[in-house]
Amino acid sequence: MPQQVPGTVGVAIHSADPIIRAGLVSYLRTDRRIREVPPELHHEADVIVVAVDNADASALDLLRSLSDSPDARFAMVVERDWHADVWAAVDRGVRAVLWRDAVSPAAFVRTLLTLADGGGSLPPTLQAALMRQIQQVQREVLTPRGLAPSGIGPREVDVLRLVAEGKELAEIAKKLSYSERTIKYTLYGVMKRMQLRNRAHAVSYAIRAGLI
């Protein structure tokens, strides 16, 4: 097993084709910031690279079999075509997609470091497809329910902002021209829908999501 070096990015590479896998592994060795993690220990990797011929439903199932962690970071190297639902791929943890014929050692390493740092890298065509899906969900699902993409509506954001400022429920009700009962119901609705434990947790979530 390769020795784990502090501060390096652990990368596990999964490919059914041993030649492709060997080529991608050789790219890792061009940068000391990257260390290889054996495929069988992919759960210990910072980034999991999956090389496939076509990105389709079976490829997404493969991702789930490798890791169902919500924090999983996958980079897909695709040989031919993309047929998978982009939103579903992102939901499975795909944070980068590289076309096999365009992969260079420098681009490969740069992408892995970007993912390890919390970023992402999708080809323009897939970015456009993802944006169309987001717009469709916003238009057909969220807007009719008065929700934003974060799952929290404008009134709920106003309430959470005032809670974050230390206002009591009675003060919030007066400022927003609602009854105190409505404010309590609004907070309860947010906490139940987003599975938040209490008001402090709800405020923390809103801050992390950039809502307040």
Chain centroid to CA 23: 27
**Domain 9-126 sits in which CATH superfamily?**
Response regulator (3.40.50.2300)
Cα–Cα distance list, 155 to 3, 43, 61 (Å): 52, 41, 39
pLDDT of the residue at 2: 47
**Spatial distance between the Cα atoms of 198 and 101, rounded to a whole number of angstroms:** 50
State the fold for domain 143-208. Answer: Arc Repressor Mutant, subunit A (1.10.10)
* Average confidence (pLDDT) per 10 residues, the chain, 212 residues: 66 94 94 92 93 92 87 92 90 94 93 93 90 78 67 85 92 92 91 88 85 80
**Spatial distance between the Cα atoms of 10 and 35, rounded to a whole number of angstroms:** 5
Q: Which pTM does this prediction carry?
A: 0.69
pLDDT of the residue at 5: 56
Q: Where do the domains of the chain lie?
A: 9-126, 143-208
pLDDT of the residue at 123: 92
pLDDT of the residue at 1: 44
